[in-house]
């Protein structure tokens, strides 16, 4: 049994030897963590310091269970790495390609982090996990983040992974439903975790929801193929590509093109982290690594696709060819004229204003103060990454 949760995902043996020597790791629950963190975490169990919580979380991870994907370092490093968690809103697929690249290529480690990418699923919301301090950063849906802030979460949005709203409506190529209004009288599948976004879109597109037969689906596109549903709300990089691969010809339109522009896959962090100098420094370092990972991914879409298929998402039985297609489609959402001008994840005043308008139409009272480019500005101080 490996004694370090890193081992499962790391490529190099010597690194571990070195790390063990330099950090004097101790054994807790089958994993090892740096001594300073482990003793501290015992004293302040459930303390809300991000670092402590993260160290504790690492301690609680059994190697076999791989509940988080730990940093895979590729080069030896003398400096101790700070363990942090990043809470994702879904399982590790192409959607998090840039993160996987940053992990595999050691960009996080370059910034002094031992990152655990904590996969999400249909039942998780990243906001409470970040608000509690367990994760330093979360990746989540914009309206959900805004709603959480409205409901008292002390969070801020520090960057947008997608410049363009990736949500789309998929119908059969044989009987395409080409506009929002054409959904009237039809059975439309919306998963519970997408419903906030859907409500906002309906308001933005001035749709009368009562005329649409909304069915809750659990990420289930089978029902579209089976004809039980007439249309399905999906993710531009997921369902259309899967359906096409299954021989089903989908007709797809983006929410963004029908009165619902929105940044998506936003990065959230605690306001208190942003306002503390040390916290801000950590976020800046993290976002620098993140931007490097995504910049690399944008240039070589197959890299993240291969990492998702063969390394981090192995259990998901992903198909490389589909993941590459998804990665290519994804680039259109990640890069834009704005990111070319200001760097990846940048939120221009116009994008923020559009997002606020879209969110407000969905009764989510997003305000400009929920967004800040402060971290990105500092990260790109020495030159933008795009």
- Measured from the CB atom, the residue of 12 and 311 that comes closer to other proteins is 311
148 binds other proteins (CB under 8 A): yes
55 binds other proteins (CB under 8 A): no
Per-residue contact track with other proteins, 272 to 291, x per CB under 8 A? --------------------
- State the nearest-atom distance from the C-beta of 327 to other proteins, in Å: 16
Stretch that binds other proteins, among 175-183, 219-227, 253-261, 271-279 (CB under 8 A): 219-227
Among 52, 61, 160, 274, binds other proteins (CB under 8 A): 61
Among 26, 225, 329, 378, binds other proteins (CB under 8 A): 225
Where residue 334 falls (left for φ over 0; alpha for ψ -120 to 50; beta otherwise) is alpha
Among 214, 268, 375, 379, binds other proteins (CB under 8 A): 214
Among 216, 275, 310, 350, binds other proteins (CB under 8 A): 216
Rounded CA gap, 63 and 72, in Å?
14
168 binds other proteins (CB under 8 A): no
- Measured from the CB atom, the residue of 46 and 349 that comes closer to other proteins is 46
- Measured from the CB atom, the residue of 170 and 335 that comes closer to other proteins is 170
173 binds other proteins (CB under 8 A): no
Structure tokens at 78: 């003398």
Residue position matching structure tokens 């993240």: 304
Among 2, 128, 176, 259, binds other proteins (CB under 8 A): 128
Rounded CA gap, 362 and 339, in Å?
26
Site for other proteins in 326-345 (CB under 8 A): none
Among 78, 79, 151, 337, binds other proteins (CB under 8 A): 151
Stretch that binds other proteins, among 75-83, 116-124, 163-171, 371-379 (CB under 8 A): 116-124
Structure tokens at 375: 């971290």
- Measured from the CB atom, the residue of 163 and 194 that comes closer to other proteins is 194
3-state helix/strand/coil string of the chain: CCCCCCHHHCCCHHHHHHHHHHHCCEEECCEEECHHHHHHHHHCCCCCCHHHHHHHHHHHCCCCCCCCECCCCCCCCCCCCEEEEEECCCCCCHHHHHHHHHHHCCHHHHCCEEEEEECCCCCCCHHHHHHCCCCCEEEECHHHHHHHHHCCCCEEEEEEEECCCCEEEEEECCCCCCCHHHHCCCEEEEEHHHHHHHHHHHHHCCCCHHHCEEEEECCCCHHHHCCCCCEEEEECCCHHHHHHHCCCCEEEEEHHHCCCCCCEEEEEEEHHHHHCHHHHHHHHHHHHHHHHHHHHHHHCHHHHHHHHHHHHCHHHCCCHHHHHHHHHHHHHHHCCHHHHHHCCCCCCHHHHHHHHHHHHHCCCCCCHHHECCHHHHHHCCCCCCC
Per-residue contact track with other proteins, 85 to 104, x per CB under 8 A? ---x-xxxx-----------
- Measured from the CB atom, the residue of 210 and 315 that comes closer to other proteins is 315
321 binds other proteins (CB under 8 A): no
26 binds other proteins (CB under 8 A): no
Among 121, 179, 206, 320, binds other proteins (CB under 8 A): 121
- State the nearest-atom distance from the C-beta of 159 to other proteins, in Å: 20
- State the nearest-atom distance from the C-beta of 12 to other proteins, in Å: 20
67 binds other proteins (CB under 8 A): yes
- Measured from the CB atom, the residue of 22 and 132 that comes closer to other proteins is 132
Q: How many residues bind other proteins (CB under 8 A)?
A: 74
CA atoms within 13 A on the CB side of 146: 29
Per-residue contact track with other proteins, 298 to 317, x per CB under 8 A? --------------xxxxxx
122 binds other proteins (CB under 8 A): yes
Rounded CA gap, 349 and 346, in Å?
10
């Amino acid at each position: 049994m490996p004694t370090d949760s890193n081992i499962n995902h790391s490529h190099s043996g010597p690194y571990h030897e070195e790390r063990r020597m330099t950090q004097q790791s101790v054994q807790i629950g089958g994993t090892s963590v740096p001594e300073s963190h482990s003793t501290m975490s015992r004293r302040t169990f459930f303390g809300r310091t991000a670092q402590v919580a993260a160290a504790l979380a690492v301690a609680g991870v059994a190697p076999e269970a791989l509940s988080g994907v730990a940093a895979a370092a590729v080069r030896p490093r003398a400096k101790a790495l700070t363990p942090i968690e990043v809470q994702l809103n879904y399982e590790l697929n192409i959607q998090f390609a840039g993160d996987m690249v940053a992990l595999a290529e050691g960009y996080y480690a370059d910034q002094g982090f031992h990152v655990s990418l904590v996969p999400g699923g249909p039942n998780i919301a990243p906001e409470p996990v970040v608000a509690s301090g367990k994760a330093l950063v979360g990746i989540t849906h914009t309206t959900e983040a805004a709603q959480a802030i409205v409901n008292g979460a002390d969070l801020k949005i520090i960057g947008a992974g997608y410049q363009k709203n990736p949500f789309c409506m998929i119908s059969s190529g044989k009987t395409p439903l080409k506009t929002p209004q054409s959904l009237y009288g039809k059975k439309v599948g919306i998963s519970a975790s997408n419903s906030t976004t859907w409500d906002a879109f309906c308001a933005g597109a001035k749709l009368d929801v009562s005329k649409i037969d909304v069915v809750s689906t659990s990420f289930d596109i089978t029902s579209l193929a089976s004809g039980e549903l007439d249309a399905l709300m999906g993710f531009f990089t997921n369902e259309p590509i899967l359906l096409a691969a299954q021989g089903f010809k989908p007709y797809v339109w983006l929410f963004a093109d029908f009165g619902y522009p929105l940044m998506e896959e936003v990065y959230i962090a605690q306001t208190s982290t942003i306002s503390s100098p040390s916290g801000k420094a950590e976020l800046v370092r993290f976002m620098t690594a993140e931007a490097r990972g995504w910049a690399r991914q944008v240039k070589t879409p197959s890299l993240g696709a291969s990492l998702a298929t063969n390394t981090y998402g192995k259990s998901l039985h992903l198909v490389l060819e589909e993941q590459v297609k998804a990665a290519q489609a994804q680039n259109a959402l990640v890069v834009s004229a704005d990111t070319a001008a200001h760097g990846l994840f940048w939120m221009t005043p116009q994008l923020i204003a559009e997002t606020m308008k879209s969110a407000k139409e969905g009764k989510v009272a997003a305000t400009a103060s929920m967004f800040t480019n402060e971290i990105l500005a500092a990260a790109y101080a020495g030159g933008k990454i795009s």
